[in-house]
Structure formats: C-alpha cells, structure tokens
Chain A
Amino acid sequence: MAYILIIISAMLVNNIVLAQFLGICPFLGVSGKVKTAVGMGSAVLFVMTLATIVTWLVQTYILNPLGIQFMQTVAFILIIAALVQMVEIILKKISPSLYQALGIFLPLITTNCAILGVAILVGNGTYNSMGLDATSLLPAIVFAIGTALGFMLALVIFAGIREHLAKLPIPEGMKGVPAALVVAGILALAFMGFSGLV
C-alpha cells in the first residue's frame, strides 16, 4: 500500500515538472508532439530508474562508509553521464528498434536536472517515502518510477495541448515559449487539485 502511495505522491501530488520545477528544459523543448513526448518520457523512465539504482549503490556502499558525502554531486553527475553513454551503446547493439525510438533523446538526458535531482533526493533520503525506510533500495526505486511516470504524464498532456496551440491565433510576443509557459501554469493549477490526495 505504501508503495502505491509513493507512486501517487510522486506522480500526481508532487509532480516533478509542475510542482518541483525539475526537467523544465526537455519539457519545453521536445513536447511539440505527443509521439516524441512518449519517446522522451520512456527514455527518462528508463534512465531515471537505472540511475537511481546505481547512485543509491554508490551512496550506500562508497560515499557513506568513506564519509565523503561531499563528493556526491561530482560522483553522481559523472555516473549519470557515463550511464547515459553506456545505455546508448548497449541499446544500439542489442535492440536497434528501441534505440531508434529512444536514441535521439538519450544525449539530452544527461543535462536533465530531474535525473540528478531524484538521485540526490534518494541519496540523502529526503524524498516522501510514506513511512517506509527512505534509505533502503526498494522505496527508492518505486519513487524513481513514480517520478518518471509523472514526468511522462505532464509531458504527454502538455504536448497534446501544444499540438492544438499551434493552430490558434496568438499575439506576436506571446508566440512559442511564453504561450507554452502559460499553458504549463494552467496545468500546474490543475495539478494542485491533487493536493491532499495522499
């Protein structure tokens, strides 16, 4: 039950894009079409889960025992960069079709602050773990999956709206990003309705 609550909380109540403001760049950058939004979302889901597991292992078995928590930022960003590269190479070899679907999004993910943000939250055990032990692995993985699903959800809804937005008459100065930001704001308002769900 607590695991379901973690997912709901990470996905809807504390949506990473609309409530925590992480991962805005890809949110604004690639969400022109629903199809690309799904692609980007799945790439983030894949990398975020993997990155959370690896950084959790590094935090628990290297940084904490050695007492060098201050190397966290350096270590995590290097791990994520290396991980993305490796995923790219492995995908290319093993599953060319999957690589074609996700490939172009992978390089963008290194600088997606949502990934590093989740890794740091998990590393410090400061995410909302619904009463479960925040320093153990399973709640962390569930939290990462929930967050990534929330990212995908926000991205897909946003892309769906933007597909229609392109056809509307908008004042010159508001075209493009400003209009998109207003839409994002309204979406954030809507997501505030989830508050108190958990």
Chain B
Amino acid sequence: MAKKQSSLINMVLTLFVITVVAAVALGFVYYFTQEPIAQVKEKKLNEGLMKVLPAFDHQVAEEVEGVPTYKAFDANEQLVGTAVEVVTDKGFGGDVKVLVGFDTEGKIFGYTVLEHKETAGLGSKMGDWFQEGGKGNVIGKDLSTPAKVSKDGGDVDAITAATISSRAFCDALNKAYATYTASQSSNTATEAQPAAEEAKAEATAEPTEVAENEGGQDNE
C-alpha cells in the first residue's frame, strides 16, 4: 500500500480519525472498569473502617464541616464508634490521609494510613509505628490534650529519623479529634437526651472492657 500524501486535508483527517477512535475505545474501557474501580474504593474504605472501629453492623457516612465521617452502629442501632477521614498537608512528601477511629468515649480505637507520599523506610513506617505494640503506640489515647511528638513536649514517640512525618501524623490525629468533637456536639443537638444517656451508660461499662482488651493483646 502506498504511503498517504501529507496534504493538509489528509493530515487533519488522519489525526481526527485516530483521536476519535482512541476516545471511543477508551470510553469503552472506562465503562467496563468503572465498576471494579468503584468496588475497589468501597472495599478499601470498608476494610479501613473495620480496622479502626470496634465490630459494627452498619455505618452511616456524613460530612462534618466538610470532613468525611463514618458513624458505626451495631445491630441494635447503638453507636459503637466514629471514624474520621482526615488529610494533613504537613507531611514530608505531601498530603497524608489517615482514617482515625474513636470509641464512644472519644479515645482512639484504631487508625490506618490511607494515602501518603512519605519516604520509603522512614516516614512510610507510620502505618505500623503508632499501632498497638508499635514503638509510638497511640491506641487508647485521649486527645483532649492534643497529640505532640516528644521533641515538641508531647508524649508521642516519633519515628526514628522521621520527625516531620510523625508531626504530620499527630496533626492528623488532632484534626480528626476536632472533627470528632464537632460531630458529637451536632449529634447531641439533634437527638439530645437518649444519646447522652447512652454515652453515660457505656462510659460506666467501658473501663472493664478496655482492660480486658488490653489484657488480651498483651498475651498475644
């Protein structure tokens, strides 16, 4: 087959046809991958929530001051915990996105790092470092006094050689707590009495449970 001439009409036509074919083909691929991609995202969120919250039956997503918040309930519609998805820009390599779970008392139940661009081998350790059993354990912490790394006079042990990433992590925790408190106050405003009573009832029941939990973890 002879090579096509480089006349203007030929050139414009070829480019146009190629682009249209490419766009249509991509549209198809996009259409077929859209669902799996959405599923992956949902699965990731659910796995994250299961990691950071006590066992729950279903969750309700809402936005508190523009921050995604997930309230988890058990089968009897009792609130078991609240998870907050926060982004901090104080990270070493850019934004750090953390999902922080609070129990009904406002103590940290768990956390998971969703996205980060921290240095591999240093700041990237934050996924394990602050977990229960990690060196900078923050689980069970009450954030009414803001989290700070020990270098800044706080009581959170920073990741070795990654103070900035650790500061960013503390910043994320504090932001999450602020959102959590805001979500609680909006809650009590709408369904004032019952919620408060529930909280009280659970507050008395909680300490033994926490102790049990900790004992169990130590044995492992």
Contacts and interface: CB of A to CB of B under 8 A. Distances in A.
Interface of A: 14, 68, 70-71, 74, 78, 126-131, 195-196
B68 interface: no
14 contacts: A14-B94, A68-B27, A71-B23, A71-B26, A74-B19, A74-B23, A126-B94, A126-B95, A128-B93, A129-B89, A130-B89, A131-B89, A195-B164, A196-B92
Interface residues of B, number: 14
Contacts of B95: 126, 128
Given A71-B26, A74-B26, A127 B94 contact: yes
Contacts, number: 28
Contacts of B94: 14, 126-128
Nearest to B167: A196
Which 10 A-B pairs have CB atoms at the shortest separation, nearest pair first?
A128-B94, A70-B30, A196-B164, A131-B89, A70-B26, A74-B22, A71-B23, A130-B89, A71-B26, A195-B92
Contact of A128 (B19, B23, B89, B163): B89
Consensus secondary structure, chain B interface: helix
Given A71-B26, A74-B22, 13 more contacts: A68-B27, A70-B30, A74-B19, A74-B23, A74-B26, A126-B95, A129-B89, A130-B89, A131-B89, A195-B92, A195-B164, A196-B92, A196-B163
Contacts of B163: 196
A181 B123 CA distance: 26
